Structure 1
Amino acid sequence: MVAVSLGVLALCCLCCCLGLLVLVQRRLPGASRLPRCVMARTEKPFFRIAYSLYTKTRLGYLFYKRQLKKARERYPHGHSSTQAIVFSGVKVVPIPVLSDNYSYLIIDTASSLAVAVDPSDPIAVQTYLEREGLTLEAILCTHKHWDHSGGNKALKRQYKSCRVYGSSNDDIPQLTNPLTDREQITIGRLQFQAFFTPGHTVGHMIYLLDGKSGDGPDCLFSGDLLFLAGCGRMFEGSAQTMLASLDTVASLSDNALLWPGHEYAADNLTFAAVVEPENTVRDRKFQWVLQHRLEKKCTCPSTLGEEKEYNPFLRTHCQDLHLALDLQRGEDEEWSHFRARILEEVRRRKDLFKGR
């Protein structure tokens, strides 16, 4: 009898939460970007329920499929116009998917081998592969969220020898090659290094393409860890955990190109002006981004050197930001603890400013 009651309760909970998800999507501006917007606009109990359902049950996958269908109808050619970047023998292709995501293809042009990063729309990725006569050799998945991993199964079915890389700490669909921190990945002439960067999810990873692969700059595929002028929400980690992950990024070359998982540049730079209104570097970048977004152009990539100048989530060490937030280091407070407190405050204000 208890088991039956629990089963009925679970079923009712699933139905109610699905109804709430649909209701919020219809009523709230921008709610098509769930689960982020729902989580930012509700109390913690519902957050935990919604997030658990999204990440641990089939409900999340069904919701992703619904969003994918709607995005294909609304943006038949993608939400933004993009342009590939070509180095010597290496091509990086941003593919706009869903309502604001980016997947990426990194191509060894000599062998026609391709690597996909976070291919959430398998049709969009496969269309490009077939048009260019490419073979999908590997998928690099930054984390488990469906808007980054949802296309793994379909692409693995189409390209049976394709390997799927990611962290075993996340439930990556179709994972074949679990990675450890700083592990090397070689695909043709393409050389990647994986970095373990938890915080957004417990197993989030980022991937650095060695610029020597194509006689160009390093390329960082950052998933939902770092965006242009922003960072991901701390769904499964503390501020200290996220700070350590962001410090991993900050240790990389300033010349590295940043290829993030979402087109959030305009909103992020608007918020950056609130927390650091005197930052003139941000002002110049904002004008450039506004022009690009008016023309529906992709704002990727930036460089890590640029991000350190205007991204508040990479500036927790800067006194200007401390003063702007009106936060002071305690007399006996460790520097890393103070920086984590700064990060937590910036994230809190960003969540209130806009649910991304």
Structure 2
Amino acid sequence: YSLYARTRLGYLFYQRQVKKARERYPHGHSVPRPYCFPGVKILPIPVLSNNYSYLVIDTGSSQAAVIDPSDPLAVQAAIEEEGVMLEAIFCTHKHWDHSGGNEALCQKHSSCRVYGSALDAIPRLTNPLTDREKVTVGCLTFEALATPGHTVGHMVYVLDGGPFGSPPCLFSGDLLFLAGCGEPFEGSPETMLASLDVAVSLGEDTLLWPGHEYALECLTFASLLELDNSALEQKLQWAVQQRQEKRSTCPSTLGEEQTYNPFLRTHRPELQEALGLWQAGGEDPDAFRARVLKEVRRRKDLYQAT
């Protein structure tokens, strides 16, 4: 991990990833579905082998922001096809598969600003953000939320849907996936739990736009934990069909996620019992939930290794 995140070798590995993905998936790993509300368009851009970048457009002014531009060529192609002006890059964290396109896009778009946490070494960062800080791009308003755990400076971005008659939109990077969450490379289970709680607090109607297409893998794993979860089984069947057709599975909603995502169900007795965990007398509820989260993570890592 340290080699990938903190050295030149990581960047070279990322470049190799990009090259191989362009050859294997010349049109992207998934068929994306643009979401349009009056005045705003959200375009998922499938990049690398399973990443998503997002082009968010103020359709009234043709100003746009991109979240986590992994492959600059794919992002630039979307910008040109949509005929928009790139005003901002929002990076959730420093990892190359989320920030590797910053340099090339900034060279192409000289007025573009790069936003993210000063705690992460984000390439070409121009505007460091603090927790709860807001940024406006045209009529779009994004709020940055500090969500450490995956990296120490990980941030998510929430698009205010109010002006467009849409729900809030959460661009979650590697904090939260459909039925999953990111590895806590730079944080404890307690830190990750607190960050997940920040996401959940946004409300059940919030649309979740994750940084990766991991739905099928995550749902399959979750189904091994909760054998009698009907919502989980229905979502898994849906995801199987979507992925057979190479269709994107995003977005979901935070309300949906709380019915099947084990990383958001640490408070649920059925999951706790399935894991063989019980709260000790006098144990702080959040400390117990962190234990549950740690066990889910341990089992997920074992599942991925098999």
Could you say which TM-score interval applies, normalised by the shorter chain?
over 0.9
Partner of residue 298, structure 1: 248
Q: Secondary structure at the match of 1:349?
A: helix
Please report how far the alpha carbon of residue 53 of structure 1 lies from its aligned counterpart in structure 2 after TM superposition: 1.3
Alignment of 1:224 onto 2:174: yes
Question: Separation in 1 of the partners of 2:180 and 2:5?
Answer: 23
More helix by share: 1
Please report how far the alpha carbon of residue 355 of structure 1 lies from its aligned counterpart in structure 2 after TM superposition: 5.2
Alignment of 1:266-281 (within 5 A): 266-281=216-231
Alignment of 1:16-55 (within 5 A): 51-55=1-5
Partner of residue 64, structure 2: 114
Instruction: Give the one of 139, 149, 153 matched to 2:89.
Output: 139
Partner of residue 211, structure 2: 261
Alignment of 1:347 onto 2:297: yes
- Amino acid in structure 1 at the alignment position of 2:211: G
- Amino acid in structure 1 at the alignment position of 2:289: R
Give a deviation string over 1:321-350, Cα, whole Å, max 9, x none: 111111011112111110000000000000
Question: Separation in 1 of the partners of 2:300 and 2:243?
Answer: 21
Work out which of the two has the higher radius of gyration on C-alpha atoms and give 1 or 2: 1
Length-normalised TM-score, structure 2? 0.99
Q: Is the 8 A contact 1:90 1:213 kept in 2?
A: no
Question: Separation in 2 of the partners of 1:119 and 1:106?
Answer: 12
Q: Gapped runs of 5+ residues in structure 1?
A: 1-50
Alignment of 1:149 onto 2:99: yes
Q: Is the 8 A contact 1:219 1:258 kept in 2?
A: yes
Q: CA RMSD in A?
A: 0.9
Question: Separation in 1 of the partners of 2:82 and 2:248?
Answer: 21
Q: Gapped runs of 5+ residues in structure 2?
A: none
Give a deviation string over 1:140-181, Cα, whole Å, max 9, x none: 000000000000000011101101000000000000010111
Q: Secondary structure at the match of 1:354?
A: helix
Partner of residue 42, structure 2: 92
Q: Secondary structure at the match of 1:81?
A: coil
Which contiguous aligned blocks of 4+ residues in structure 1 show a shift greater than 2 angstroms?
none
Give a deviation string over 1:20-77, Cα, whole Å, max 9, x none: xxxxxxxxxxxxxxxxxxxxxxxxxxxxxxx111111111001100110000000000
**Number of corresponding residues:** 306
Q: Secondary structure at the match of 1:285?
A: helix
Question: Separation in 1 of the partners of 2:3 and 2:182?
Answer: 20
Please report how far the alpha carbon of residue 213 of structure 1 lies from its aligned counterpart in structure 2 after TM superposition: 3.4
Seq. identity, %? 65
Please report how far the alpha carbon of residue 275 of structure 1 lies from its aligned counterpart in structure 2 after TM superposition: 1.0
Q: Secondary structure at the match of 1:139?
A: strand
Q: Secondary structure at the match of 1:255?
A: coil
Question: Separation in 2 of the partners of 1:93 and 1:203?
Answer: 25
